[in-house]
Structure 1
Amino acid sequence: MREFSVGEVAKRAGVSVSALHFYERKGLIRSLRTAGNQRRYAADVLRRIAVIRVAQRVGMPLESVRQALACLPDQRTPSVEDWATMSAAWRAELEERIAQLTELRDRLTGCIGCGCLSLKACALANPEDRLAVEGAGPRRLAPG
């Protein structure tokens, strides 16, 4: 099995060495150690990093990515089927986030979320600050 140094992986994956160390600390990838205590990565890590970067690009939390990658056997390159499973699982979360962002965009000018600050218009949308019983902060625009 071919192994790569941290510099080789960083160059091939298009990430910094510090990003690799960060991904490793977060449990997203793993390395082996040589007798001289140098990191070595198996080839599957390149695809795993690609998955991580795409997931980050669409806004997936690293914990969701870690959980998805944890379901794969060690040292196995994620396949097209693996990606289909992961992306399908993330789709609902992304759809929810898109809906929240759309609502935020559409209401941003006229509403500060009620419950955090007061505008005269909020008295109409939130009479007597009824939303305050649900907690502090912008209740209408905060996720469930």
Structure 2
Amino acid sequence: MPQLEGDKDRRITIGELSRRSGVAASALHFYERNGLIDSERTDGNQRRYRRDALRRVAFIRVSQRVGIPLKDIRSALDSLPDGRTPTKKDWARLSQRWRDELDARIRQLEHLRGDLDGCIGCGCLSLTSCGLQNPGDVLGLEGSGPIRWTGSPAAE
């Protein structure tokens, strides 16, 4: 459909933004409360979004899908001049920065998976040798006996 003159300035409703982005209205409200997207209010107090909110929502969803925390997504969006919509060049810059963080998380998860495999083998979650419960037996430095309290206040 050809774009009409002035169409780029047309505002869309939350229902239209939800339908076109595939994101629930409640999630859009959440994004707005957290400063990820903006709306204007009509005289009847209804939200209206600029059409470029569609691209911002897509940016948020893709970033979330690869595991980027919302605070980092907001920081990335805040770094754009005049709050504009991310471009392909912006995505390349931001994704390169996030790539290092993702690689570090992947290494950490692979290490955790290895520890979990060993833990399943012992079956006891040994406090002296369990790499998950007590890495390097650091609790042994605290002395013998129970170190971690896992009960409820009523159990005292």
TM-score range, shorter chain: 0.7 to 0.9
Secondary structure of the residue aligned to 2:17 is helix
Match of 2:152 in 1: none
Q: CA contact under 8 A between 2:128 and 2:137: conserved in structure 1?
A: no
Q: How does 1:81-120 map to 2 (within 5 A)?
A: 81-111=89-119, 118-119=126-127
In the TM superposition, residue 118 of structure 1 has moved relative to its aligned partner by 3.4
Q: Which runs of 5+ in 1 are unaligned?
A: 137-144
Distance 1:90 1:131 in 2: 38
Compute the RMSD of aligned alpha carbons: 2.7
Structure 2 residue 132 is matched with structure 1 residue 121: no
Q: Which runs of 5+ in 2 are unaligned?
A: 1-8, 149-156
Q: Structure 1 residues 49 and 127 mapped into 2: Cα distance closer, same or farther (>3 Å)?
A: closer
Match of 2:30 in 1: 22
Out of 44-53 and 66-75, give the one that drifted further: 66-75
Match of 2:65 in 1: 57
Q: TM-score, normalised by structure 2?
A: 0.73
Task: Work out the percentage of aligned pairs sharing the same amino acid.
Answer: 55
Q: TM-score, normalised by structure 1?
A: 0.78
Distance 1:39 1:127 in 2: 54
In the TM superposition, residue 73 of structure 1 has moved relative to its aligned partner by 3.1
Q: What is the CA deviation profile of residues 19-68 of structure 1, one whole-angstrom value per residue up to 9, with x for unaligned ones?
A: 00000011111111111111000011111111111111111100000000
In the TM superposition, residue 74 of structure 1 has moved relative to its aligned partner by 3.9
In the TM superposition, residue 129 of structure 1 has moved relative to its aligned partner by 2.4
Q: Tell me how many residue pairs correspond in the alignment.
A: 129
Larger Rg: 2
Which has the higher relative contact order, 1 or 2, with Cα contacts under 8 A spaced 6 or more apart? Answer: 1
Structure 2 residue 18 is matched with structure 1 residue 10: yes
Match of 1:77 in 2: 85
Distance 1:38 1:82 in 2: 31
Match of 2:47 in 1: 39
Match of 2:153 in 1: none
Distance 1:16 1:74 in 2: 26
Q: CA contact under 8 A between 2:128 and 2:140: conserved in structure 1?
A: no
Distance 1:48 1:21 in 2: 14
